[in-house]
Structure 1
Amino acid sequence: MDNDKTSDGGVKFYTLEDVRVHNMINDTWLIIHDKVYDISKFLEEHPGGEEVLLEQGGADATESFEDVGHSSDAREMLQQYYIGELHVVRKVHFPHKHAWKSIKLVCYTVIRVIMRVIT
């Protein structure tokens, strides 16, 4: 299920759906500041206990990570677990099809007014 998309620079990209499935004790991924980390091997070493990390497993842990106030050493240590970047897919919401009728009507009206002013 993991996404094999990589950039020209060799960075691997994962969707949120890719990360979500990695939420088990032997397979734990986190997102912190749109970077994806496989912290599976770090669980037992975490000073706050593995439970804290497992609660965040498969999800964006940025807020929790920052709330704790990790040291620069902890931030540096995190880099060894980096596996890629979060690929953010933005959804574009289009108005309902009936809304287009209203938009079209307004556009036609504006064009008619402009044409009257010009002529």
Structure 2
Amino acid sequence: MSRVVTYEEWKQHQTKDSFYVLLHNKVYDVSKFLDEHPGGDEIIMAEAGKDASDAFEDVGHSEEARSKLPSMLIGEFAGSEELKKTSHSPAATTTKKPASSTSSESTSPVVYAAAAAGVAVAYFAYQSLA
């Protein structure tokens, strides 16, 4: 039997010992599954405090993986409005980002500076040979 999970309750379960994940407006207790996850527990825990629906779908989980979800279901999420408020707050924008990201928005300016320096060195080396 499914129940309603509030935002406050969901936020209290964001540790490795007790980890609730939010997928498609449903809350799942994945605490016992963390060590079994093929991608490692870090992948799941990177979604702490966030709606993990997009990340879950982007990976393209198999039907076998999806079939494990019902046994972990806690209930329906009743904190969508509170989650939206916190995801747009200044505190939410200063939270630590995952170390590896495929988003072009997360590319460090240092990478661009290093690339520009490399191009400049190559250009001057070419000019000195000519």
Q: TM-score, normalised by structure 2?
A: 0.57
| CA deviation map 1:63-111 (0-9, x unaligned) | 10011010111111121110111014659xxxxxxxxxxxxxxxxxxxx
- Find out whether 1:12 has 2:3 as its counterpart: yes
- For 2:75, the equivalent position in structure 1 comes to 84
Query: Which has more radius of gyration?
Result: 1
Structure 2 unmatched ranges of 5 or more = 83-130
- Find out whether 1:37 has 2:28 as its counterpart: yes
- For 2:58, the equivalent position in structure 1 comes to 67
Structure 1 unmatched ranges of 5 or more = 1-9, 92-119
SS at match of 1:31: strand
- Find out whether 1:25 has 2:44 as its counterpart: no
SS at match of 1:53: helix
- For 1:47, the equivalent position in structure 2 comes to 38
Q: TM-score, normalised by structure 1?
A: 0.62
The question of whether the paired residues in 2 share the 8 Å contact of 1:35 and 1:84 is answered with yes
Aligned length: 82
Root-mean-square deviation (CA), in Å?
1.8
Off by >6 Å, runs of 4+ in structure 1: none
User: Displacement of 1:32 after TM fit?
Assistant: 0.3
Paired letter, 2:34: L
The question of whether the paired residues in 1 share the 8 Å contact of 2:2 and 2:73 is answered with no
SS at match of 1:60: coil
What CA distance in whole angstroms lies between the structure 2 residues aligned with 1:20 and 1:81? 17
Paired letter, 1:37: Y
